[in-house]
Chains A and B, each alone.
Chain A
């Protein structure tokens, strides 16, 4: 158990809909990262938050947005969903101040299926 919690584990929805994925980082970790992994593909970095502030942005679509709340949990909002958005969405957290030098802990992912 990495200590990173993601909900829901599975989500099935229709095209055009909007969903919210939630992530609770490990206790004490200030950085939260979101990744997308499509079928048989590598992990694609979406966005990073550090202590509530956006720190880095990757290949995140304009239809997607995220935020990190004062209690450090994070939400990834996906709107106007398309079939191609079907993927595993992973959240990861890292220890304070060790965004690229320390250990990165991944949650078990949220599997989104868009029909």
Chain B
């Protein structure tokens, strides 16, 4: 069964600090991995999409890494801001026809002043 597991479940950091969120998946064969940011009560917004051949991708202060061999991804947030407080969701897509997106449960990040 395709699964996506994220850790930690929740994280509290101080404004200005860096943090790293983890995503492990079992989806195979693998097509792409996405990170979404979801503010409370809002729709998820895409941060990055990475294919099998990409190891790292940045979007401003967000940098995602992918190790397709170990089936792991991380999202690193640099110099956190209060507006970074949100749920960060890892989503993995399979390669076979009929594949659908497999969603992680998300990491709830709280950035405190």
Contact = CB atoms under 8 A, between A and B. Distances in A.
A111 B44 CA distance: 15
B98 A56 contact: yes
A88 B41 CA distance: 8
B43 A106 contact: yes
A27 B105 CA distance: 29
Nearest to B6: A42
Given A42-B89, A104-B34, A58 B100 contact: yes
A104 B4 CA distance: 18
B20 interface: no
Nearest to B49: A103
A45 B101 contact: yes
Given A42-B89, A100-B31, A100-B93, A107 B98 contact: no
Interface residues of A, number: 23
- Please indicate which of the listed interface residues B31, B32, B89, B103 has the most CB atoms of chain A within 10 Å of its own CB: B103
Contacts of A105: 46
B96 to A, nearest CB: 9
Interface string B75-113: 000000000000001010110001111011110000000
Interface of A: 2, 4, 41-45, 48, 56, 58, 88, 90, 92, 100-101, 103-109, 111
Pairs of residues from A and B, 8 with the lowest C-beta to C-beta distance, nearest first:
A106-B43, A42-B105, A100-B93, A43-B103, A108-B43, A106-B44, A100-B99, A107-B43
